[in-house]
Chain A
Amino acid sequence: MNTSYPGRVVRVNLSDNKIERQQLSSELLRAYLGGRGVGVRLLWDDVAPDVDPFDEGNALMFLPGVLTGTSTPCSGRTTVSAKGPATGQYLKTSVGGYLGIALKMAGVDAVVVQGIAEQPTVLVIDEQGGRLEPAGDTWGQGVKETTRRLKQRYGDDVEVACIGPAGEKLVRFAAVMTSVYNAAARGGIGAVMGSKRLKAIVIVPGRGGVRVHDPDRFSAAARQARELLYNDSVAPDLHKYGTARDVDILNELRLLPTRNFQRSALSGDAYNLSGRSWPKMGYLERIVSCGGCIYCCHRFTRVSSGPYAGTASGGPEYETVAAFGSGCGILELEPVLAANALCNDLGLDTISAGNVVQWAMETAEKGILTEDDLGGLKLSFGDAEGMLELLMMIGERRGVGDVLAEGVARAADKIGHDSHRWAVEARGLEQSNVELRGAYSYALAFAVNPRGPDHLHTECLAEFGGTNEGISLVEKLTGDKSLAVPDTEIGRAKIVRWHEDMYAVTDAVGMCAFSTTAAYSLDEHALAELVAAATGQEISGEELMKAGKRILTLERCFSLRHGLEPSCDDRVPRRMMEEIPQDVQKGEPMDRERLSRMLKEYYELHGWDPETGRPLRTELHRLGLDFAAEVAVGPCEKGGSR
């Protein structure tokens, strides 16, 4: 059963050089689907509460989805999960490229890595299983060179997922890079890999392929899904101009985080930063796709003249442009492309890296980080060379880079002088580049995101009312389409609740958010039809969404078990709660009271205790999560409705 995702796990223990096969039960697959869902279920059992993210007891997991490797459009995604170094709590990241398809073709549905290798190691996975080999001369190398050398060693057609120097040096925002330029970026997942001395996973192409239970039914469902995606209103521009297509428009709307969120727009035209301009300016060399996608929103960019000539890399995405462009007060694209290429090669999350640099710029402008502290750098907003030098120092943990490599929360602890006030983080994770002070669903979603404040757990784009699909969805969720506006508390909890379940399902089946929650082509029923046809397990849209809620709830339980305190952790960064952008005349910060009211409604909708934010035991029972009852509150009722 579960034809397209039979639950084949490769378990690796690097401490004692052991590789074993594990078969997941069909009950587990029914409850958690695959990908992110299977990940959190395994993490619950595998990682004890007293385990530090860098201990050998932490488990690093690579989990393609239920539909990955099939022709389901946009289904090439892989969850990479662990106890996270930024938060000390639950962490999932999602990555595209070819990793997931390669794993499924090699007959692997999940890879779980525990232990710490004595020497830097490479894990080679093929259809026969796996083997551990010395990392040799790849240790210390950047992502490009590492990938080159591993392809020389194992063959041009192998897929490589690796860390760069940043992961080796345990930078708390190091990424795992795959297909050279695709990042499992956030939360320090690359540092977990580095702590295990695992330089890379190499996947040898398999021939077994991926089967589906009912080919005719699947074929029809996939064709219909494709048709819906092609007809989505955001699709053509997403393909042509990528995720950074609207940077200039966001700037005009004053929704573009600028100078460490002190401002909401660059003074000047942001057209150069916008993906729309890159083809004309000659920076776009190629439109690139993840494996199995029909949208192809990734880019390959190159600078062919001037001081940054020779820069060539995958991306940048919107988040990277905002992090190193507007965020650092930089109007030109070329330094942004250089920062993007540098982060890709060091193996750094561009969102956190940019945020850290911005914090350092502001701290330097306030006179707290001096030229001496910065190793001779006169850092200020707009300083492109300073930005690039600082990134190198962080990636190599050189000088002040060693402090900054810990992320803004820990750096502010160390530097002091009230610098927490402009450390734009919550739970230890740097916020992504969304202006949430006027976008209340985003604020709520960021506050409850288990990995910290970003948009990649719950993408509530519908609340802006920018597309017909978004407006219809808000109407479906709240009964009132006039609520498709971002600056109201009303209906926000309902909007967040739907989006977070849908995102969990999307990750579990291995699809991209642009198919379900950041654009809204496919609903739960379309996904259920694909899953049923692919796995042979009949499942309704409602059951699928319940699985999404189960996954989310267990993630919450994992974090509670590992130290989450809802009363102080369910929050947005301080700057969001205390200040409004300096260039905005009206408006209010996302103050604590407003957030608390929305949180209470959100907890209630979840069946969690509205005061403490802890799941009620009755709700855990309803979701089949009785085993997690230790972190819940309320009476232990048996026999609740299932």
Chain B
Amino acid sequence: MFEARFTEASLLKKILDAIKDLVQDANFECNESGVALQAMDNAHVSLVSLLLRGEGFDLYRVDKPESLGINLNSMSKIMRCAGNNDSVTMDKVESADTVRFLFESPSADRMSEFHLKLMDIDSETLEIPEAMYHAEVELPSAELRRIVADLVTMGDSVRVSVSKEGVRFTVKGDEGSGSVILRQSTGVDKPEDAIHVLMNEPVEQSFALKYLNLFCKAAPLSARVQIKLSRDAPLLVNYAMSNVGHLAFYLAPKIGDEEDEQ
């Protein structure tokens, strides 16, 4: 038996919106500590890692670890039937081949129930070894989304460089080039707008904007986003969800020829 309840459907909706363009089918690994999902996009350039801790749920119960294979598009269709403030209960009895979604309105006068057929997804699990990053930047997620949205119109890849100056995003395209620089700011008036740049070593790497743009769809999940980078290592874009868990994206840097092509 597996059972988990969210107070608000909106969180689950936002998570799905953030990852369904990158990943079509994935296993939700459910065990005592929580629900985890990990998957690569088709081109194996990025990795999505979602963790929802058990404590973050209204109710959470796992008798035996379960792996729920789900087509994210189908799940997203079902989730669209839930009101943003509805509570969501997902449950599955052992050996069932469906998972049930139960939506209840806050006033408890409307209840709806959907069953999603499960898939058997045979995939391997990956992990990105935790490492010391050369630089870490924390900024408002809306800010990152804006930068990426602006730059993606200019070119395919962005060069991210962190120096004492701050963090700079540079794009070059057929029509021209552009860059945005963010400096350290404490955000005296509005702490949520603060920009923290922590640099152990200057670092500069190129990334495909196409993917960054997809990652930024997670912005509604969290007001703040962390990006971490090291030379010759994947970029980490992390959206922390207070008390619940996190949605992290890893993106392989463009190297050598790939960069020159741009």
Is the A/B pair a real complex?
no
* Partner-A contacts on B (CB < 8 A): none
* Partner-B contacts on A (CB < 8 A): none
